[in-house]
């Protein structure tokens, strides 16, 4: 799997583009298995970097989604409420929310595509 | 003073462990066993679940344990330690039952198979193997019968689903049409003579469980032969994930969840399999007393009405938000396409149609008490 270079990644397996679109990574969806439920913040919600902003559930497990950056939610992908399996099919296309990024400097703390790929290959190797 | 360190936990492996890994199974630790939870390359939990409901799926259930009781007083011993009535079993018949503590709570739930005139096989849970064997040995030593722990002797493969009979018939000379549900026979399977074949399972579907020698070569050969023979029926290897969702749809109890050493037979709703009319068995006196007193909690089926998935251990609340019970097992139900759960609540909240709430991440989410089992397989004829 090659990870798109137009965005940044967290060690908790979220991605975010410079314009504030975010979702979870291919590695995350693969680890979770069949995704059956996505719970996302409401429009206008204030997110804080690295704090829980929602949950993704597979048949077996519940996982928190952490905000990759602080900001205000400007759009929510409502399609995922009825078709959560889209995250399995195309994790890097199935965005979850768009936020107005508060401090673009926060993105500097995140991983590049190459560093994230290295990170997950090490994690998977355990 | 010497400091004694606890030995590192030993994770046990079935004889098919390497085969699961080759097939790309996602492995997890379950009750001290390294077991496949799902096979993503074959479709994952939902596909595995659907295969068993509509076709056939196979499971490695070698982690299950086996205790054999044989001798002139084997029946009396089984009657003493189990709640169902084993005297009703014909040779070649099996029954669901349980081992109970004197207070009427569960040591484990079991399947009792009558193998011969004075020979019984108890199939027990993986996580309770040692406890069960100790319990059975200690409580049957006054009877003239031999008690053997055979858990490590067998690789147990479950072939489950409406097409299971067609699949297994290709591999055996035994006439499977003559074996009714919860009966067993012996036959040649994949060239192995005298193999125990039981029409049992833990999926709320028709199916068989076969008990073959536990060596790795034989186990792998039989597993692969079953997969090969099942190709025409769309057979899928299934892990513990699908095993759990399948048994939950059928309201089959899981030790440590619906039943445990703190839950009694009446609370768990297993009255049908508890024969108090039997002269004597461990736990009976306490159960008669408990019945006279009435239960304080009872197991119900819940279906989520509002959006959310109930999970094991979540709190159950009344309409006003007061805590009244807890979820023992909760999951999306892949075949029913609903979010379902089993929960203990006080009897006054247990009526079919009653509305309760399940606390999910701090929010009370509406659920309704529904009839169980959630899923019942269509009966043939």
pLDDT tens digit sequence for B170-204? 999 999 999 999 999 999 999 999 999 999 999 99
Helix, strand, or coil (residue B368): strand
User: At residue A124, does pLDDT exceed 90?
Assistant: no
The token pair at B216 is 């790795």
Distance CA A107, CA A101 (A): 9
The token pair at B311 is 């999970």
* Average pLDDT value over all residues in chain A: 95
Cβ of A59 and B46 within 8 Å? yes
Q: Which residue of A has its CA nearest to B340?
A: A59
- When divided into structural domains, chain A yields a total of 1
Distance CA A31, CA B36 (A): 14
Cβ of B45 and A62 within 8 Å? no
**Numbered residues of chain B with Cβ closer than 8 Å to any chain A Cβ:** 26, 37-38, 40, 44-46, 241, 244-245, 307-309, 311, 331-332, 334, 361
The token pair at B73 is 């007083």
Does residue A122 form part of some domain? no
Which residue of A30, A59, A62 is in closest CB contact with B245?
A59
B381 confidence band (pLDDT: 50, 70, 90) = very low
Task: Please give the angle made by the CA atoms of B66, B71 and B73, to the nearest 5 degrees.
Answer: 105
Torsion A80-A84-A90-A96 (CA) sign: positive
For B233, residues 6+ apart whose C-beta sits below 8 A from its C-beta are B55, B56, B163, B166, B167
For A97, residues 6+ apart whose C-beta sits below 8 A from its C-beta are A21, A22, A40, A41, A53, A73, A75, A76, A77
Residues B235-294: pLDDT tens digits?
999 999 999 999 999 999 999 999 999 999 999 999 999 999 998 999 999 999 999 999
Does residue A79 form part of some domain? yes
B7 confidence band (pLDDT: 50, 70, 90) = low
User: At residue A121, does pLDDT exceed 70?
Assistant: yes
CA distance B265 to chain A (A): 28
Distance CA A93, CA A25 (A): 10
Closest to B82 measured CA to CA, from B71, B66, B98, B95? B98
Does residue A124 form part of some domain? no
Answer whether A54's CB lies under 8 Å from A118's CB: no
Does residue A58 form part of some domain? yes
**How far is CA B254 from each of CA B52, B107, B125, B243, B341, rounded to the nearest angstrom?**
19, 12, 9, 11, 13
Q: Percentage of residues in chain B with pLDDT exceeding 90?
A: 96
Residues A83-98: pLDDT tens digits?
999 999 999 999 999 9
Strand runs (DSSP E) across chain A, as ranges?
8-9, 14-16, 21-24, 35-39, 46-47, 52-58, 62-66, 71-76, 97-101
Does residue A121 form part of some domain? no
Residues B290-300: pLDDT tens digits?
999 999 999 99
The token pair at B84 is 């169902």
Query: Averaged over B43-66, what is the pLDDT?
Result: 97
Does residue A21 form part of some domain? yes
Distance CA B30, CA B256 (A): 12
Does residue A2 form part of some domain? no
Does residue A14 form part of some domain? yes
Place of tokens 């892949």: B334
List domains and CATH numbers for chain B: 9-292 (3.30.1360.120), 296-370 (2.40.30.110)
Q: For the residues of B44-55, what is the DSSP string, one character each? A: HHHHHHHHHHHS
Cβ of A81 and B307 within 8 Å? yes
Domain containing A33 — which CATH number?
Answer: 2.40.50.100
Strand runs (DSSP E) across chain B, as ranges?
26-30, 33-38, 57-60, 65-70, 94-100, 106-116, 119-124, 146-149, 154-160, 184-189, 192-198, 207-213, 236-237, 298-304, 315-317, 323-333, 338-345, 355-360, 363-370
Distance CA B308, CA B315 (A): 13
ipTM of the complex: 0.88
Distance CA B269, CA B259 (A): 10
User: At residue B86, does pLDDT exceed 80?
Assistant: yes
CB contact burial B64-84 (16+ within 10 A = b; e otherwise): bbbbbbbbebbbbbbbbbbbb
**Numbered residues of chain A with Cβ closer than 8 Å to any chain B Cβ:** 30, 33-34, 36-37, 55, 57-60, 62, 81
Helix, strand, or coil (residue A50): coil
Residue A97: domain span: 8-107
Q: What is the pTM of this model?
A: 0.94
């Amino acid at each position: 799997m090659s990870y798109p270079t137009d965005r940044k990644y967290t060690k908790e397996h979220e991605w975010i583009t410079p314009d504030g679109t975010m979702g979870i990574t291919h590695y995350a969806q693969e680890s979770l298995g069949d995704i059956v439920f996505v719970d996302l913040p409401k429009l206008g919600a204030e997110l804080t970097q690295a704090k829980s902003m929602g949950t993704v559930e597979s048949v077996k497990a519940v996982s928190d989604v952490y905000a990759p950056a602080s900001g205000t939610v400007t759009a929510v992908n409502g399609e995922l409420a009825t078709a959560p399996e889209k995250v399995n099919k195309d994790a890097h296309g199935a965005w979850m929310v768009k936020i107005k990024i508060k401090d673009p400097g926060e993105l500097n703390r995140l991983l590049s595509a190459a560093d994230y790929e290295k990170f997950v290959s090490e994690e998977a190797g355990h | 003073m010497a400091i004694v360190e606890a030995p590192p936990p030993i994770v046990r492996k079935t004889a098919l462990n390497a085969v699961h890994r080759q097939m790309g199974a996602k492995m997890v630790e379950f009750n001290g066993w390294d077991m496949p939870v799902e096979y993503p390359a074959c479709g994952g939990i939902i596909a595995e679940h659907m295969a068993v409901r509509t076709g056939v799926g196979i499971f490695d259930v070698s982690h299950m344990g086996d205790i054999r009781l044989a001798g002139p007083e084997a029946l009396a011993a089984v009657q003493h330690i189990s709640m169902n009535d084993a005297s009703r079993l014909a040779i070649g018949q099996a029954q669901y039952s349980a081992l109970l503590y004197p207070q009427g709570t569960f040591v484990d739930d079991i399947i009792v198979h009558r193998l011969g005139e004075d020979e019984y096989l108890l199939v027990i849970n993986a996580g309770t193997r040692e406890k069960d064997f100790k319990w059975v040995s200690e409580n049957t030593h006054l009877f003239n019968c031999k008690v053997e722990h055979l858990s490590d002797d067998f690789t147990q493969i479950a072939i489950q689903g409406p097409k299971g009979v067609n699949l297994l018939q290709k591999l055996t000379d035994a006439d499977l049409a003559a074996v009714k549900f919860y009966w067993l026979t012996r036959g040649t399977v994949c060239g192995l003579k005298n193999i125990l074949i039981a029409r049992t399972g833990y999926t709320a579907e028709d199916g068989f469980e076969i008990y073959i020698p536990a060596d790795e070569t034989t186990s792998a050969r039989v597993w692969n032969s079953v997969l090969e023979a099942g190709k025409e029926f769309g057979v899928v290897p299934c892990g513990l994930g699908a095993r759990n969702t399948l048994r939950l749809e059928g309201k089959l109890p899981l030790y440590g969840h619906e039943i445990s050493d703190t839950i009694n037979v009446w609370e768990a709703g297993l009255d049908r399999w508890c024969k108090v009319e039997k002269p004597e068995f461990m736990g009976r006196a306490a159960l008669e007393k408990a019945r006279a007193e009435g239960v304080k909690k009872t197991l119900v089926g819940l279906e989520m009405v509002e959006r959310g998935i109930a999970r094991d251990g979540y709190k159950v609340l009344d309409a006003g938000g007061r805590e009244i019970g807890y979820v023992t097992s909760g999951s999306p139900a892949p075949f029913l396409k609903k979010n379902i759960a089993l929960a203990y609540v006080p009897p006054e909240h247990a009526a079919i149609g009653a509305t309760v709430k399940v606390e999910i991440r701090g929010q009370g989410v509406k659920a309704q008490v529904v009839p169980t089992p959630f899923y019942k397989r269509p009966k043939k004829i």
